Amino acid sequence: MKLFYRKIGEHKPVLIILHGLYGASDNWMSIAKTWSTNYEIFLVDLRNHGQSPHSNIHSYKAMRDDILKLMNDCKIKKAIVLGHSMGGKVAMRLAMDNPERINNLIVVDIAPKNYELINDQNVSKHQKILKGMLALDLKLLKRRKDISQLLSASISNEKTKQFIMKNLKRNKDQSFSWKLNVETINKEILNITKGFSENEIKKNISGFPVLFIKGEKSNYILEEDYKQILDIFPTAEFEVIRNAGHWIHAEQPEIISTLVKGFLEE
């Protein structure tokens, strides 16, 4: 699949940034601008998100192949790859399967573990969000205010709701539709949260620097996950950003910007 991307900066090496679930390429734009004097940055819309094509397939292998196609089409032999949440798992899949294409790997607030088994509450939250999105007949809704009010029944957190509403696009008839392929994401949400099976995980991947970044207030990466991560990426370093939850790049943009810059310049 040919993905939509935004490119800023002209200086090699290449840095590819992969957003999380419900996100898009512009989520990291403000931080990417702070790195653009030193890197050629590709901010990607993953499949079924943003302006990239929709598909009934949404697997980590398919998303890995999408990134490989982008790299091949743009003649990128190797890249620094940074991924947040779902995008972090895409980055890990790429690094495990194609380590020769990686200069540095940066994974933001996600582990390679199976979240479906470990955190049923988190999975249920996603299912409730998607059910609420699917329940809306957007063709009949002409005001964002009305959509916001209806979504409140399934999304109680105001910040989460506003983030989801960034996926709305206005049609020519002034109605709305979702940029996100809600039907496929809803169908595949268990596989998205499940991640990698044991026989898919490859161990002792080395040859490039690896950084895992955790939000202090987030439970997506726990201390007990470090062993599994180190089994896969034995050179991995770990950093915890204080006063940040899962959306570190939105909550502490200056800190993560400085942290990543320092890691890449070591």
Catalytic residue among 19, 52, 84, 85: 85
Q: Phi and psi for 238 in degrees, rounded to 5?
A: -130, 135
**Residue 120 pLDDT:** 56
Please identify, among 165, 190, 215, the residue that sits at the C-terminal boundary of a domain: 190
Q: Which amino acid is at 81?
A: V
Q: Phi and psi for 56 in degrees, rounded to 5?
A: -85, 0
CB 128 within 8 A of CB 189: no
Please identify, among 147, 162, 190, the residue that sits at the C-terminal boundary of a domain: 190
Please identify, among 173, 190, 207, the residue that sits at the C-terminal boundary of a domain: 190
- Please give the model's pTM, rounded to 2 decimal places: 0.95
Same domain? For 16 and 83 the reply is yes
Mean pLDDT throughout 116-124? 63
Mean of all residue pLDDT scores within the chain: 94
**Residue 118 pLDDT:** 53
The total domain count for the chain is: 2
Is 126 assigned a catalytic role? Answer: no
Same domain? For 168 and 56 the reply is no
Q: Which range marks the domain in which residue 209 is found?
A: 5-114+196-264
Same domain? For 68 and 32 the reply is yes
Q: What is the pLDDT of residues 4-40, one digit of tens each?
A: 999 999 989 999 999 999 999 999 999 999 999 999 9
Same domain? For 107 and 123 the reply is no
Same domain? For 100 and 215 the reply is yes
Is 85 assigned a catalytic role? Answer: yes
**Residue 117 pLDDT:** 56
CATH number, residue 31: 3.40.50.1820
Same domain? For 162 and 106 the reply is no
Q: Which two tokens stand for residue 219?
A: 């439970």
